[in-house]
Structure 1
Amino acid sequence: MLDFAIFAVTFVIILVGAVLYLYPSSRRASGIPGLNPTDEKDGNLQDIVNRGSLHEFLVSLHQEFGSVASFWFGRRPVVSLGSVEQLRQHINPNHTTDSFETMLKSLLGYQSGMGGGANETVIRKKVYESAINNTLKNNFPLVLKLVEELVGKWKSFPEAQHTPLCAHLLGLAMKTVTQLALGERFRDDTEVISFRKNHDAIWSEIGKGYLDGSLEKSCSRKGHYDEALSEMESVLLTVAKERKAQRKQTVFVDSLLQSSLTERQIMEDCMVFTLAGCVITANLCIWALHFLSTSEDVQEKLYQELEDVLGSDPVSLDKIPQLRYCQQVLNETVRTAKLTPVAARLQEVEGKVDQHVIPKETLVIYALGVVLQDSDTWSTPYRFDPDRFEEESARKSFCLLGFSGNQTCPELRFAYTVATVLLSTLVRQLKLHKLKGQVMEVRSELVSTPKDETWITISRRRKHGEQQQN
């Protein structure tokens, strides 16, 4: 009888263990509170689809389960962190990699490191960041020229004309990023148009199709995506070979060619910079001008700083750090728009947040969009208020989240520079006005984008004593 009892208990234990192993819906990720999978194969992907975006899904997840919560990408457990304190605990031991870049490379199917461990990953990161910094230094007059061309075009518009921000600023971002990353070949508009076609096809699927699993379920969409990615990679490889033969040292790809990176790694880094650089730069500029158009007071305060610091001179790299209020405007733009609402890291070693153990190789999501509008961290979180960044606590929280300081992703630093040039050129010449009746809706994917075209009207800025023109 005792032998039978031992056998029965052992059998039940084995059976329960098998059920827990084979059917993930019966367990939680690492004991962390959260959702069980709604589908054995897809996990909670359908829940994400139903919410409309990963960001909206994370908002509801953290509302229900708190600042540390779990869910499932397919059969893989995921931990999401949704408060400043929890992110502080997790980021500090894992600061060697950039979370946005890590996620983007993973979605593209690229390896984030050099294949030789943590040291090589750090080296590659430094090469990448140095290449972007050198590119801005070498090509700042070109950034200024492209911005001045756009502002000059806007000045020629009748004051009642509606100006489409998305179309114009994505065009500015595409021209700026391609020319600074890949060289003068992209001064040709036909090259930029071809690049944009593939860029848009890739980014639209990365932003949504991969995250909700729908891309893999559509042969036609997957084929279109694969073709665009292959064409883009081919162009980048060709540009790298051409630049290597020319031995030039002025743009982003030239700096990478001077390093010990392989041809494949150079292509991957060019892909990440051109993809993310275009989208982040365009949308930072779009949101900044949109928010400025809603606040005449902020425009005037920014105008006064620009007059005090720059006078009648164009902005320069050495003057940008002195434009503190401009920096606050851009910080508040990133926060209010939730510019990059989601980032992710792979847990390289076992970690701990609060009382929760995060096992090695767990995917950890940073729910930045949740944190950026957390009322415990930000007073009146839905209000556009650049003055909040006069407070040290706000600046520290922002820095911790990776939007300023040493932890800022290099693509965002690049975007800040372009946006500063745009604001310093535009606000001293033109006033921005919100279009009455326009309702802004946000598409929150890897980068928050207006769902529809965003329109403003503009008027000439007339300095004191200048006659009103008819």
Structure 2
Amino acid sequence: MLDFAIFAVTFVIILVGAVLYLYPSSRRASGIPGLNPTDEKDGNLQDIVNKGSLHEFLVSLHQEFGSVASFWFGSRPGVSLGSVQQLRQHINPNHSTDSFETMLKSLLGYQSGMGGGASETVIRKKMYESAINNTLKNNFPLVLKLVEELVEKWKSFPEDQHTPLCAHLLGLAMKTVTQLALGESFRDDAEVISFRKNHNAIWSEIGKGYLDGSLEKSSSRKGHYEKALSEMESVLLSVAKARKARGSRRCLWTLFFSPASQNDRSWRTVWFSLWLDASSLLTCVFGHFTSFLGSDPITLDKIPQLRYCQQVLNETVRTAKLTPVAARLQEVEGKVDQHVIPKETLVIYALGVVLQDSDTWSAPYRFDPDRFEEESVRKSFCLLGFSGNQTCPELRFAYTVATVLLSTLVRQLKLHRLKEQVVEVRSELVATPKDETWITVSKRN
């Protein structure tokens, strides 16, 4: 009996030791080099939080493990691709799941009713492209009007007044998106401000609660989030229904909204894409632009001809990493290089890493719009979804608004960025002055 007990204990110890020894490799996604989960339930989520953002986590991951690296996004295995070569291998046979939706739909909580797979994505993209193109064509004078209003406001400021650049440009982005998307319902500043509050409450949780799971752990935060989301939905749906009833089809929302689609909440991502792309691009581009637009008034037809302006916007998107991460769910087993990617693996496109990859971009940390004169550079940028046929409709919308703003500003005003952070300035538009970009404005002679 004693011999048997000793044997049993020894066997258990050996078994446990074997499990502990084999555990890391058995938990690594399909043998791809990468991180083991630090927590059985949360995977590497805490590692992501500790790095400060998913982008910074991916930068560190690829520095350690190379251009194809694995990690655990909760209980789901994840594979991150960090070079153009690997992305090119993966995108072509796996282009059926929209990347932005993959990141948002978990928190926004919808299941699309348009069918699945590639057909759904193609149909939706064509619908959105048509809606946005028609909206810009029908409402281009409104874009000009909103930009002129901001320019006139800046012209009225004393030259030594410190102006919060980001706050004003975020306001312009919100006005442009809401009025083009929702029509005259958002002409009033108070309505825009109220809508923006709900939007900010939702977006802050997408940026934080989605990653660390803290939203589910706080009833007060979740209640605040759900209230904001409900109010935003209510406004969007009521406006669309009212405009449908009047037979109006000149605003974006009613071009693709139908009563039958009320339960299809995929339209939420359209709103967030439009607002995020427009606000981010407008805010970042002013650190780099120069006088390149000539003297003629801007029109919608002239925008594609402004080649250097397009290069400046492209380089702004690249260096600012406005979209540092995209994602796809591996619907069928795939392969990148010698690595097999199992079905239902979360595949991360580490765009922020790729956009600063020295193998793809010469002097990747230097702002150089002239790099886009090279065909190979334009092809790489197109592959990432930022230009050409792969450009998302929402980004095309943002490019249009940014070009109109640049062409108007550069003829009438000079913007001077303050070298030192301005912390003593107080503004109802700015919650934390030290985190704002402050400028002064002067008129051109």
Offset of 1:5 from its aligned partner?
A: 19
| Contact 2:82-2:353 at 8 Å conserved across structures | yes
Moved more, 405-414 or 315-324: 405-414
Residue 338 of structure 2 corresponds to which residue in structure 1? 355
Query: Distance in 2 between the 1:39 and 1:443 partners?
Result: 44
Offset of 1:21 from its aligned partner?
A: 14
Cα distance change, pair 35–309 in 1 and its aligned pair in 2 (3 A): closer
Cα distance change, pair 50–313 in 1 and its aligned pair in 2 (3 A): same
In the comparison of the two structures, how many residue pairs are matched? Answer: 410
Residue 321 of structure 1 corresponds to which residue in structure 2? 304
Could you state the TM-score of these two structures normalised by the residue count of structure 2?
Answer: 0.80
Post-superposition CA distance 1:414-440 (Å, at most 9, x none): 100000001111111122222123499
Post-superposition CA distance 1:382-415 (Å, at most 9, x none): 1111111112221111111111011112211110
Cα distance change, pair 376–334 in 1 and its aligned pair in 2 (3 A): same
| Contact 1:143-1:176 at 8 Å conserved across structures | yes
Query: Distance in 2 between the 1:135 and 1:233 partners?
Result: 21
Query: Distance in 2 between the 1:287 and 1:183 partners?
Result: 9
Post-superposition CA distance 1:80-139 (Å, at most 9, x none): 111111111111122344312332234312235613543233212211221111111111
| Contact 1:284-1:334 at 8 Å conserved across structures | no
| Contact 2:422-2:433 at 8 Å conserved across structures | no
Cα distance change, pair 443–323 in 1 and its aligned pair in 2 (3 A): farther
Post-superposition CA distance 1:248-303 (Å, at most 9, x none): xxxxxxxxxxxxxxxxxxxxxxxxxxxxxxxxxx9999999966xxxxxxxxxxxx
Query: Distance in 2 between the 1:286 and 1:332 partners?
Result: 28
Cα distance change, pair 366–396 in 1 and its aligned pair in 2 (3 A): same
Cα distance change, pair 114–230 in 1 and its aligned pair in 2 (3 A): same
Offset of 1:52 from its aligned partner?
A: 0.6
Moved more, 121-130 or 332-341: 121-130
| Contact 2:240-2:253 at 8 Å conserved across structures | no
Moved more, 102-111 or 52-61: 102-111
Cα distance change, pair 10–132 in 1 and its aligned pair in 2 (3 A): farther
| Contact 2:416-2:439 at 8 Å conserved across structures | yes
Offset of 1:19 from its aligned partner?
A: 5.7
Secondary structure class of the residue paired with 2:378: helix
Could you state the TM-score of these two structures normalised by the residue count of structure 1?
Answer: 0.76
Query: Distance in 2 between the 1:346 and 1:445 partners?
Result: 42
Moved more, 144-153 or 435-444: 435-444
Offset of 1:22 from its aligned partner?
A: 12
Cα distance change, pair 5–419 in 1 and its aligned pair in 2 (3 A): farther
Secondary structure class of the residue paired with 1:72: strand
Cα distance change, pair 421–410 in 1 and its aligned pair in 2 (3 A): same
Cα distance change, pair 23–183 in 1 and its aligned pair in 2 (3 A): farther
Cα distance change, pair 382–57 in 1 and its aligned pair in 2 (3 A): same
Residue 206 of structure 1 corresponds to which residue in structure 2? 206
| Contact 2:243-2:254 at 8 Å conserved across structures | no
Offset of 1:235 from its aligned partner?
A: 1.5
| Contact 2:351-2:384 at 8 Å conserved across structures | yes
One of 356, 375, 390 as aligned partner of 1:407: 390
Moved more, 357-366 or 92-101: 92-101
| Contact 2:70-2:80 at 8 Å conserved across structures | yes
Query: Where does structure 1 differ by over 6 angstroms across 4 or more consecutive aligned residues?
Result: 1-18, 20-25, 282-289, 439-451
Post-superposition CA distance 1:221-259 (Å, at most 9, x none): 1111111111111212212211211xxxxxxxxxxxxxx
Post-superposition CA distance 1:45-72 (Å, at most 9, x none): 1111111111100000000000000111
| Contact 2:372-2:378 at 8 Å conserved across structures | yes
Cα distance change, pair 230–287 in 1 and its aligned pair in 2 (3 A): closer
| Contact 2:412-2:444 at 8 Å conserved across structures | no
Post-superposition CA distance 1:18-63 (Å, at most 9, x none): 9699978852011111000111111111111111111100000000
In percent, how many aligned pairs have the same letter?
91
| Contact 1:83-1:371 at 8 Å conserved across structures | yes
Offset of 1:210 from its aligned partner?
A: 0.8
Q: Where do 5+ consecutive residues of structure 2 fail to align?
A: 256-287
Moved more, 29-38 or 431-440: 431-440
CA RMSD of aligned residues (A): 6.1
Cα distance change, pair 403–140 in 1 and its aligned pair in 2 (3 A): same
Offset of 1:147 from its aligned partner?
A: 0.5
Moved more, 69-78 or 90-99: 90-99
| Contact 1:81-1:366 at 8 Å conserved across structures | yes
